[in-house]
Amino acid sequence: MKSINLNISFEQYAGIQELSEKDSILCQLSEQALSTSYSPYSNFKVGTAIRLSSGETILGSNQENLAYPSGLCAERVALFTIGATYPDAVIESMAITAKTDAFEILHPVTSCGGCLQVMAEFERKQNSSIEVIFYCLNGEVMKIPSVKSLLPFAFVEDRLQGSKA
């Protein structure tokens, strides 16, 4: 038997004012994306801003549907927009934030497992890390250097890509 430990490293900040200007702006854009959230059932708004290597920023917000689970998380809305509109784009960084009127969110909200898997696929496809910033409105920030840190056991099966002959 072998015992293996996995560790992740991330940076923690008291607020976005401690981030670089580029990252602070990305967090502010994720906050802006909250305004397009369609979340009448959960009243839990999530906004995502993704910075591409071209400098362009793509926004996404969660979109609910009465027929659960037909809705889509903010991260996947933005990522699938990139996949459909900018298929060869390289993603540098993404910022994610959340808001609800039901209670105060005191710590950054992290992505669900489905979103992490999609994020891992984009990171794998572009063969370079995607930095992830989880931003709590008026509060702390977590900055993770790579999606691999968040989902070390992402589903990967190279044989599903078919032959490359």
Alpha carbon of residue 43 to chain centroid: 19
The closest alpha carbon to 139, from 111, 107, 104, belongs to 107
In angstroms, the CA 94 to CA 68 distance is 26
Q: Is 28 buried (19+), middle (13-18) or exposed (0-12) by CB count in 10 A?
A: middle
Written as tens digits, the pLDDT of the chain (165 aa) is 999 998 999 999 999 999 999 999 999 999 999 999 999 999 999 999 999 999 999 999 999 999 988 999 999 999 999 999 999 999 999 999 999 999 999 999 999 999 999 999 999 999 999 999 999 998 999 999 999 999 998 888 776 776 554
Percent of the residues in the chain that have a pLDDT greater than 90, as a whole number: 88
Q: Is 34 buried (19+), middle (13-18) or exposed (0-12) by CB count in 10 A?
A: buried
Domain covering 11-151 in this structure, CATH number: 3.40.140.10
Tell me which of 18, 31, 56, 75 is the catalytic residue. 75
What pLDDT score was predicted for residue 165? 44
Question: Active site includes 75?
Answer: yes
